[in-house]
Amino acid sequence: MSERRRERAVKLNVISEPKDSYTGGPSSLCPGCGHDQISNVIITAAWENGVEPHRIAKMSGIGCSSKTPAYYLGQSHGFNTVHGRMPSVTTGAYAINKDLLYLGVSGDGDSASIGIGQLIHAIRRNMNMVYVVENNGVYGLTKGQYSATADVGSKKRKGATNEIQPIDLCALAINLGCTFVARSFSGSRRQLTSILRAAMSHKGFALIDVISPCVTFNNNDESMKSYGYVKDNEVTLHMTDYIPHFDPMEEVEVPEGHFRDITLHDGSTIRLETISEEHDPSDAMAALAALHDAETNKKHVTGLLYFDSSKPSLAEDLDLVETPLLDLDDSEIRPSKESLDALNAEFLS
Amino acid sequence: MDAIVNDFTLNIATANGTGSQSANLILLDSLFEMGVPVSGKNLFPSNISGLPTWYILRLSENGYQAPGDRTHIQILVNPATWEEDIEALETGSVVIWNSDTKNKTVEREDIVSYPVPMTKMARKINPKLAKLVTNIIYVGVVAELLGIDQKCLEDAVSKQFKGKSSAIELNIQALESGREYCKENLTKSDPFVVEKRERTEKQFFIEGNEAVALGSIYGGCQMLAWYPITPSSSIAEGIIAYIPKLRTNEDGKTNLAVIQAEDELAAAGMVIGAGWAGGRGMTATSGPGISLMQEFIGLAYFAEVPSVFWDVNRVGPSTGLPTRTQQSDIGMLYEGSHGDTQHIVLIPGTVEECFEFGWIAFDCAERFQTPIFGLSDLDLGMNKWACNGFEYPDIPMDRGKVVREKEVFEAFETFGRYLDIDGDGIPYRTLPGSGMDPILYRGTGHNPMGVYSEKPEDYHNLMARLKMKIENSRDLLPEPLTREEADSDIGVIYLGSMENSIQEIDDILLEMGHHVNQCRVRALPFHSKVEEFIRRHKTTIVLEINRDGQLYGILRRELPNDIVTNVHSVAYSDGLPPRARIYANLIDEKLKEVNG
C-alpha cells in the first residue's frame, strides 16, 4: 500500500483524529478476556464521541479490570490507584480540574467489596464521571475466588457452588439515586458502545455494570457469568442507539416500531427502541422490578435501567468558580497581604 | 500576709456541656486584657454533656504556660469530682464552692473556704438558664476576690458574645451579682491578687488549629477533604469559616473546594487526586485517621504526588484518650505506610508557626512531590495561646517542577516522569489534561519513563532516588531553634508544644544545678544543625511527650555512631499537658544516671 493510499483510508472523527489516537498498549490479560472487548468499546466510544484524547482522565483501582487503562487511550493521563479507592482520587482530581472527562474502570471485587463504600459515596455526591464495572463474579489476579457479585447457584470452574446472596450494583445504585444506571455485556458490542457514549454525555455519576466473563476461572457452563450462559439468558430491555449532538444524522435509522428519545446534558440523544414491553428509565420502581425479575428467573437484564437528569452534580454542590481551579493564578488563591493585616488588626481589637 | 501577685493557678471543676467554657474564656480574656501573663488549658472528656471538665488558668510573672505543680484556687461546681478535688488541695489553698450543691460541703480546716449559693443566685437572675448563669456567677466572685478590672471583664464578655446584646446583659448582671455577694458576705482571707501589667508587645489569643486553618488558606489550599475527628476538626471548620471572607468571589463562588469525606481513607484519596491533578489539596485528622490513610500515604510517596496531611496528635493507641494530648505519632508519620518510606514532617511549636507551616507545607509538597505532614497536638491545637500576629508569606508560592507549556516540554531532550534530570532526586511532571507525557500513574513498580517495571535495577534505582530526594530536603526545611549558653555541656532536644513548658523546665533544672541548652526540632528529617547541636554537648537529652521516645529513636538511628551514645531519652506521657516539674525531675534522674 502506498503512503498516500493509507492516508486516504484513515477515517477521522469529528475533531479530525484517527482512531489510533485513542488506542493504548498491548493487553496482558488472558486471551479472550471480556475486559479486552470493553477496552475496545472504550476506544471506539471516545473516538466516535470526538472527545479530545488528552482531556480524558483514566481512573482505576486494583485488579484485572483496573490494569486495562494501560490498554486504551494512550494519550490520556491516568491513575491506577489503590484497591477500591479510585472514586476518592477521582473526586479530588475533579475538584481541581472539573473540565476533564473522568472515566473510571473497576471490577466486581474493587467495587462491590473493598470499594463499596467509596462507590456509594461517589454516587451520593453525583460525582461527574463514567464508572464502568467489569463484572465477572470472581477475583482473577488472586486466582479465582468468588466475588460479592457471584450469583446464587452459580459455580465457578473450581470449588463449590456459590450460595451467598450477590450484591446487585445496579439495584444498589438505583436505590442511592444514581442518575445513570445501565447493565450491559462485554459480548454486546453495539449496546455497550451506545450506552458508554451516552454515559460520556451525562453530567453526573454514570454507572455501567458490564458482565465480562473471566475465561480462566469462571467461563464454565455452570457459571452464570460465562459467555454461554449470558448469551442464552440475557433479557434486553430495549435496543439502544446514540445520536451525537454534533451529527444528529449519524448512521441512525428511524426505527419502525415504538421508541423513546432521551436528551443528554451535552445535547446528544440516547434512543431506546422497544422490543416487546416498553421500559421507562425514569421509573425507578420499574427498573428495580426488572432487576428483581431477572434475578428470580436467573436471567441478566441489560439496557439503560435508570436515568435522571434533574439532580445537581458535585460541581454545582461545590459552588466553585467557573475556571477550573487548576488554571487559577497563584495570586488568586493566596489572599492579599492587606487581608492578613486586617485580620491581625481585628484579632487585636 | 504577703500578697501573691499574678503567680498562681486556678482550677475550675465543672461538668461538660454546662456552658462553663464561655465563663472560663471570659476569665482568661479579662486577665489577658489586664496584661497579666496567663494561659488556659481545657481538660475535657470525650462526651457531649455531663462528664467532668476542668479548666486550668495559670498566672505566671515568668510567663510560664504549662499547668503548674499545684492548684492554688479551686472552684467547685461539679459534685461528681467534689471530694477528689478537695483532697488534692495543699494547705493554704482556696476553695470557692457552690453551697447549693446537694449533700456537699467543704470541711477542711487548713484551706480558705468561700461558700457561694450559686444556684439560688442564678435562679433569681434567670430560672431557665440557671445552669449557664451559675458559671458566670463564679466568674464574678473570682473577679471580686482577685481584683479583676471591671472594664476588662465587660470587654471580655462582649468579645465572647459578639453582638448578642441580651446575652451580654444577662452575663454582666450575673457578674455583678457575684461581685455583690462577695462584697456583702465574704471576707478576703487569702493572699492571691492580680495587678495590671504593661504588655510590651501587642498580642491576641488564638488556637493552634485556627492558625493552621489560616496558614493553609494563605498557602493557596484549593481542596480540603476531611472527616470529623477530635482534636483536628477545628482546622477544617476554621477553613470553612474563613472561606466566605478570604476565598470567595463577589458572585459567591469559591476557589477552595471543601468535601466532607465518608472516612479518612477517602479524605486521603481526595488529597492525592487533587495533587495529581495539579492542585493544592490537604486534609486534617488525628492519629486514628492517619492509621487509616497508611495505604494511600505509600501511594503518594511512591507515585510522587504532592499532598498535605495535618495530624493533630491525641493520646493513642487505638481510640486512646481522645481528648487528651500526646506526641506519639512521630514515628508513624515519619515512616508511614508499608515498605521502605520516609516522609517530611513539619512540627510547629507556637501558633505563629502553625500559621507559617500551614502555608509552607504546600510549597514543600509541590517542591518535593511527596506527602508532607504537619504535626500538631491537642494542647497546641485546641487551647488558646498568646500570638504576636501572623506574618504574610515572604516568598512566592513554590509550585515545583511542573511543565505547563508545550515549548518547555519540547525543549527536554528526553522526558520521563521519573527521570532525575537535575540530579537532585526530583523529577519533572506534567498534568492530566495537558496532553504532555500522558502516563498512567501507578503504585506498582515503574521505570524512569513511568512504565510498569519489575526489573531489579529499576526498583532499586527508584528507591535510592526517593531516599536521596527526602535526604536532600533536610537543610531546606525549617531549621531547629536553639537557646544556648556557651558554658553548658548539657543539651535538651524537644519538639512541638513542649515549647510552652520548656522555659519552666529550664528554670527548675537551674534550681537543681543543671545548666542546659535547648534545641527545638521543627522538621523531620532532622536538620544538620541538630547533629551540630548534639556535637557541641557532652550529653543530650531528647525530651518528648510519649512512652517510647520516638524522636530519640529516629535520632539514634540516623546519627553517626560516634555521638549516638551521648544522646539519651526522657519520654513521659499521662495524657495531661506537660507539667514542667515532672519532666525536670526525669531529666535530673537521667543526668544522674548518665553522668553519675
Using the Cβ of B62 and the Cβ atoms of chain A, whether some distance falls under 8 Å is answered with: no
Mark yes or no for CB contact A321/B255 under 8 Å: yes
Model confidence at A3: pLDDT above 80:
no
Quick one: which of A123, A106, A119 has its CA closest to A176?
Answer: A123
Mark yes or no for CB contact A93/B389 under 8 Å: no
Model confidence at A252: pLDDT above 70:
no
Burial of B278-317, coded b for 16+ CB within 10 Å and e otherwise, reads bbbbbbbbbbbbbbbbebbbbbbbbbbbbbbbbbbbbbbe
The helix or strand, by DSSP H or E, that contains position B223, with its residue range, turns out to be strand B223-226
Mark yes or no for CB contact A96/B273 under 8 Å: yes
Using the Cβ of A331 and the Cβ atoms of chain B, whether some distance falls under 8 Å is answered with: no
Using the Cβ of B582 and the Cβ atoms of chain A, whether some distance falls under 8 Å is answered with: no
Contacts with B390 from chain A: Cβ below 8 Å: 340, 343-344
Q: Could you tell me if residue A343 is inside a domain?
A: no
Nearest CB to A91: which of B259, B433, B439?
B259
How near does any CA of chain A get to the CA of B441, in Å?
5
Contacts with B215 from chain A: Cβ below 8 Å: none
Mark yes or no for CB contact B225/A92 under 8 Å: yes
CATH of the domain at A315: 3.40.50.970
pLDDT digits (tens, 9 = 90+) for A261-303: 999 999 999 999 999 899 999 999 999 999 999 999 999 999 9
Residue of A333, A336, A337, A349 to mutate when probing chain B, most B C-beta within 10 A: A333
Q: How many residues does chain B have?
A: 596
ipTM: 0.96
How near does any CA of chain B get to the CA of A30, in Å?
18
Radius of gyration of chain B (CA): 27
Share of residues in chain A with pLDDT > 90 (%):
92
DSSP B197: -
Residues 55-94 of A with CB under 8 A from B: 55, 57-58, 69-70, 74-82, 85, 87-94
Task: Yes or no: say if A182 and A264 are a contact pair by the CB < 8 Å rule.
Answer: no
Nearest CB to B443: which of A82, A94, A337?
A82
Contacts with A125 from chain B: Cβ below 8 Å: 259
CATH no., domain B481-595: 3.40.50.920
* CA B352, B355, B360, B365 torsion-angle sign: positive
Quick one: which of A288, A169, A303 has its CA closest to A235?
Answer: A303
Using the Cβ of B282 and the Cβ atoms of chain A, whether some distance falls under 8 Å is answered with: no
Nearest CB to B296: which of A78, A82, A121?
A82
pLDDT digits (tens, 9 = 90+) for A177-206: 999 999 999 999 999 999 999 999 999 999
Mark yes or no for CB contact B389/A344 under 8 Å: yes
- pLDDT the model gives residue B69: 87
Nearest CB to B273: which of A88, A99, A340?
A88
3-state secondary structure of B40: strand
Mark yes or no for CB contact B256/A335 under 8 Å: no
Contacts with B397 from chain A: Cβ below 8 Å: 330, 334
How near does any CA of chain B get to the CA of A317, in Å?
10
Mark yes or no for CB contact A70/B206 under 8 Å: no
Mark yes or no for CB contact A54/B246 under 8 Å: no
How near does any CA of chain A get to the CA of B545, in Å?
31
Nearest CB to A330: which of B396, B433, B444?
B396
Domain range summary for chain B, segments of one domain joined by +: 4-193, 206-387, 401-477, 481-595
Mark yes or no for CB contact B270/A76 under 8 Å: no
Domain region containing A67: 18-330
One-letter-per-residue 3-state SS of A60-94: ECCCHHHHHHHHECCCCEEEECCCCCHHHHHHHHH
Mark yes or no for CB contact A96/B434 under 8 Å: no
Q: Could you tell me if residue A5 is inside a domain?
A: no
How near does any CA of chain B get to the CA of A262, in Å?
29
pTM: 0.96
Q: Which CATH number fits domain B4-193: 3.40.50.2000, 3.30.70.20, 3.40.920.10, 3.40.50.300?
A: 3.40.920.10
How near does any CA of chain B get to the CA of A77, in Å?
4
Nearest CB to A92: which of B273, B295, B443?
B273
Radius of gyration of chain A (CA): 22
Contacts with B253 from chain A: Cβ below 8 Å: 319-322
Nearest CB to B441: which of A78, A97, A318?
A78
Residues 310-369 of B with CB under 8 A from A: 359
Model confidence at A1: pLDDT above 50:
no
Mark yes or no for CB contact B296/A99 under 8 Å: no
How near does any CA of chain B get to the CA of A264, in Å?
23
Task: Yes or no: say if B469 and B422 are a contact pair by the CB < 8 Å rule.
Answer: no
Total domains present in chain A = 1
Model confidence at A6: pLDDT above 70:
no
How near does any CA of chain B get to the CA of A69, in Å?
8
- The CATH class of B206-387 is alpha beta
Nearest CB to A321: which of B254, B433, B434?
B254
Cis peptide bond N-terminal to B478, omega within 30:
no
Mark yes or no for CB contact A121/B443 under 8 Å: no
Q: Please give the Cα distance from A342 to A327 (Å, whole number).
A: 28
Model confidence at A250: pLDDT above 70:
no
Tens of pLDDT along chain B (596 residues)?
799 999 999 999 998 888 889 999 999 999 999 999 999 999 988 888 889 999 999 999 999 998 888 999 999 999 999 999 999 999 999 999 999 999 999 999 999 999 999 999 999 999 999 999 999 999 999 999 999 999 999 999 999 998 899 999 999 999 999 999 999 999 999 999 999 998 767 899 999 999 999 999 999 999 999 999 999 999 999 999 999 999 999 999 999 999 999 999 999 999 999 999 999 999 999 999 999 999 999 999 999 999 999 999 999 999 999 999 999 999 999 999 999 999 999 999 999 999 999 999 999 999 999 999 999 999 999 999 999 999 999 999 999 999 999 999 999 999 999 999 999 999 999 999 999 999 999 999 999 999 999 999 999 999 999 999 999 999 999 999 999 987 899 999 999 999 999 999 999 999 999 999 999 999 999 999 999 999 999 999 999 999 999 999 999 999 999 999 999 999 999 999 999 999 999 999 999 999 87
Q: Could you tell me if residue A335 is inside a domain?
A: no
Nearest CB to B299: which of A74, A82, A319?
A82
Q: Could you tell me if residue A150 is inside a domain?
A: yes
Using the Cβ of B266 and the Cβ atoms of chain A, whether some distance falls under 8 Å is answered with: yes
Contacts of B170 (CB under 8 A, 6+ apart): B125, B126, B129, B133
> Counting one residue from A and one from B, how many pairs have CB atoms under 8 Å apart?
210
Contacts of A195 (CB under 8 A, 6+ apart): A182, A184, A208, A240, A242, A270, A303, A304
Q: Please give the Cα distance from B259 to B270 (Å, whole number).
A: 9
Residues 394-413 of B with CB under 8 A from A: 396-397, 399
Residues 291-310 of B with CB under 8 A from A: 295-296, 299, 303
Task: Yes or no: say if B534 and B318 are a contact pair by the CB < 8 Å rule.
Answer: no
Return the residue of B nearest to A57 by Cα. Answer: B432
Using the Cβ of B46 and the Cβ atoms of chain A, whether some distance falls under 8 Å is answered with: no
How near does any CA of chain B get to the CA of A299, in Å?
34
Question: Do the first three CATH levels of B206-387 and B481-595 match, i.e. the same topology?
Answer: yes
Return the residue of B nearest to A21 by Cα. Answer: B435
- pLDDT the model gives residue A8: 64
Tell me whether strands B281-285 and B307-315 are parallel, antiparallel or unpaired: parallel
